């Protein structure tokens, strides 16, 4: 705080002794000590109160940040749950549609094609569907032994003429 060395204190003590005299100097020293003690106590009180307020503000800020983080996590979890539900419902409806399509194909007599190659054609475009139909026709021809192999080969050539593309799964 103040940079007062021993020589300065000694000079102040000599001046106080000369000004106050030996009779009033002890009383004045006690009085000065009392005021210094009160000033220090007041300073420490103000300092500790400021530190408590700063700590309280920091705790409140941390609490607010934590609450915001929990709220954000909760919103993210709700969004993820909703997305998962949508995807689950979409898959479930796709599976149900596939089961209905299989049941319809069973009713039409086309359930067993001999190839064992079962593809959901909902996500396959026209060219890929033609290619799959040609492959099924070739498989059916080989399995039944009929003379439709020429027409099946022609259908296969027609399907592959545009180039073979990967089937999306």
Structure confidence by residue, pLDDT tens digits, 135-154: 777 766 555 554 444 454 45
How big is the chain, counted in residues? 169
> How far apart are the C-alpha atoms of 34 and 31, rounded to whole Å?
5
Burial class (CB in 10 A: 0-12, 13-18, 19+), 152: buried
Burial class (CB in 10 A: 0-12, 13-18, 19+), 139: middle
pTM of the full structure: 0.37
Q: What is the pLDDT of residue 98?
A: 78
Where are any strands of DSSP class E within the chain? none
Q: pLDDT tier at 163 (50, 70, 90 boundaries)?
A: very low
Q: Is the pLDDT of residue 8 over 80?
A: yes
How many other C-beta atoms lie within 10 A of the C-beta of residue 134? 19
> How far apart are the C-alpha atoms of 112 and 105, rounded to whole Å?
9
Encoding tokens for residue 78?
Answer: 């709700």
For 61-113, the pLDDT digits (tens) are 999 999 999 999 999 999 999 998 899 888 888 888 877 777 677 656 544 44
Q: What is the pLDDT of residue 93?
A: 86
> How far apart are the C-alpha atoms of 42 and 115, rounded to whole Å?
95
Question: For 39, phi and psi rounded to 5 degrees?
Answer: -65, -45
């Amino acid at each position: 705080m103040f940079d007062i060395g021993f020589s300065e204190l000694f000079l102040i003590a000599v001046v106080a002794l000369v000004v106050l005299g030996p009779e009033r100097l002890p009383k004045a020293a006690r009085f000065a000590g009392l005021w210094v003690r009160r000033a220090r106590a007041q300073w420490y009180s103000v300092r500790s109160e400021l530190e408590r307020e700063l700590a309280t503000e920091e705790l409140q800020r941390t609490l607010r940040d934590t609450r915001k983080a929990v709220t954000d996590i909760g919103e993210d979890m709700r969004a993820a749950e909703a997305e998962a539900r949508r995807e689950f419902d979409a898959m479930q409806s796709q599976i149900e549609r596939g089961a209905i399509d299989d049941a319809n194909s069973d009713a039409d007599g086309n359930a067993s094609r001999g190839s064992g190659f079962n593809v959901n054609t909902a996500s396959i475009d026209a060219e890929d569907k033609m290619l799959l139909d040609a492959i099924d026709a070739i498989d059916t021809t080989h399995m039944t032994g009929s003379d439709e192999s020429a027409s099946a080969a022609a259908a296969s050539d027609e399907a592959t003429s545009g180039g073979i593309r990967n089937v999306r799964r």
